[in-house]
Amino acid sequence: MQNVIDNIYQQVKCQVHNGNVARYIPELAKIDPDKLGIALKTIDGVLYVAGDANESFSIQSISKVFATSLVFSVIGDDLWRRVGKEPSGSSFNSLVQLEYENGIPRNPLINAGAIVVADMMIDILANPEKDFLSFIRRLAGDQNIHFDEKVKNSEKDTGFRNVALANFMKSFGNIHNHVDDVLDIYFMMCSVSMSCTQLANAFLFFANHGMIPATHEKILTISQTKRLNALMQTCGFYDEAGEFTFRVGLPGKSGVGGGIVAILPKQYSVAVWSPGLNGKGNSESGMLLLELLTTKTGTSIF
Ligand code: GLN
């Protein structure tokens, strides 16, 4: 496995300048586009890394999976009363479907859905910010995970679409708390910084029937884990979920910081990072790395 990781890393490193960093968030526009990292962790605890695998970056929409898992573990199927489970086929920050679908977002892995989940976090958690961070730290087995105040403020200053989404859903009654408070939690979630290694550790329970392999702690039931993996497969890449499934063949989630995490049930989780994004907001070289990984190792869910 280390040979495969080294080879695909070298192959992709030559073309890592592909894509554009997320300029619409000023703080992310400053990231070095040449970064490239990969970390793969097996459920029996072996870690393989290459490149910038231990450098922290902004996880952005990958946080939507953590938030959904946390809320799902607390309220169960009540989650689906206010957010759907269908792929949107639209961009991550799209407003269009919300109007004719009465303010109910298609799924929790697009911005609108994650904003509703952030609203639920305020309803059910004593201290949403602290509880969210401790949840991720527990999953990763690592206390050294924080959110980045600068990235959070950068999005607060410029996140006009998210403000529109939250207000629009509020008008349908699908946001219960004050819009500013909800967006504060949403931007905090997006601004969490993690490395590929930390992400691979944190996602390993999705490959292990909902249990953290290192601690045997049960986070989600087997059935709930199936559901979240299914959501990642069908909705984790917005209007490119089909392309990711076609090329990589694993459930996963991307973020505009250039990270992608994917899992192979009963075997491994893998995180990649390359800040250059394609037109759909997914990491161009990250996707290529994962495509080469599953092709060369012959591992995918299909
Ligand atoms: N914070 C970003 C936004 O709301 C998250 C988008 C993403 O990573 N796809 O626009």
What local confidence, expressed as pLDDT, does residue 212 receive? 98
Condensed to tens digits (0 to 9), the pLDDT of residues 60-93 reads: 999 999 999 999 999 999 999 999 999 998 899 9
- Average pLDDT in the 258-279 region? 97
Q: In the block, which residue shows the tokens 């929790």? A: 108
Contact 10, 240 (CB under 8 A): no
Q: Which helix (H) or strand (E) holds 289?
A: helix 284-297
Condensed to tens digits (0 to 9), the pLDDT of residues 176-201 reads: 999 999 999 999 999 999 999 999 99
Walk me through the domains of the chain, giving residue ranges and CATH numbers: 2-297 (3.40.710.10)
Q: Kindly give the number of the ligand 1 atom that is closest to the alpha carbon of 257.
A: 8
Measure 44 CA to ligand 1 centroid, in angstroms: 32
- Average pLDDT in the 280-292 region? 96
What local confidence, expressed as pLDDT, does residue 16 receive? 74
What local confidence, expressed as pLDDT, does residue 247 receive? 98
Measure 41 CA to ligand 1 centroid, in angstroms: 26
Q: What is the mean pLDDT of the chain?
A: 96
Query: For residues 125 and 161, what is the distance between their CA atoms, to the nearest angstrom?
Result: 26
Residues 6+ apart with CB under 8 A from 138: 212, 217
Q: Is residue 18's pLDDT more than 80?
A: no
- Average pLDDT in the 2-6 region? 98
149-158 helix and 179-190 helix, angle to the nearest 10 degrees: 130
Q: In the block, which residue shows the tokens 């407003």? A: 95
In the numeric block, which tokens belong to residue 290?
Answer: 């994962």
Pairing of strands 37-42, 47-51: antiparallel
Pairing of strands 217-218, 211-212: antiparallel
In total, the chain counts a number of residues equal to 302
What local confidence, expressed as pLDDT, does residue 19 receive? 86
What local confidence, expressed as pLDDT, does residue 137 receive? 98
**Residue 229 is which amino acid?**
N
CA angle 97, 99, 102 (to 5 degrees): 100
Measure 24 CA to ligand 1 centroid, in angstroms: 10
Measure 162 CA to ligand 1 centroid, in angstroms: 9
Residue closest by Cα to atom 6 of ligand 1 = 61
Instruction: Determine if the pTM surpasses 0.95.
Output: yes
Q: Kindly give the number of the ligand 1 atom that is closest to the alpha carbon of 24.
A: 10
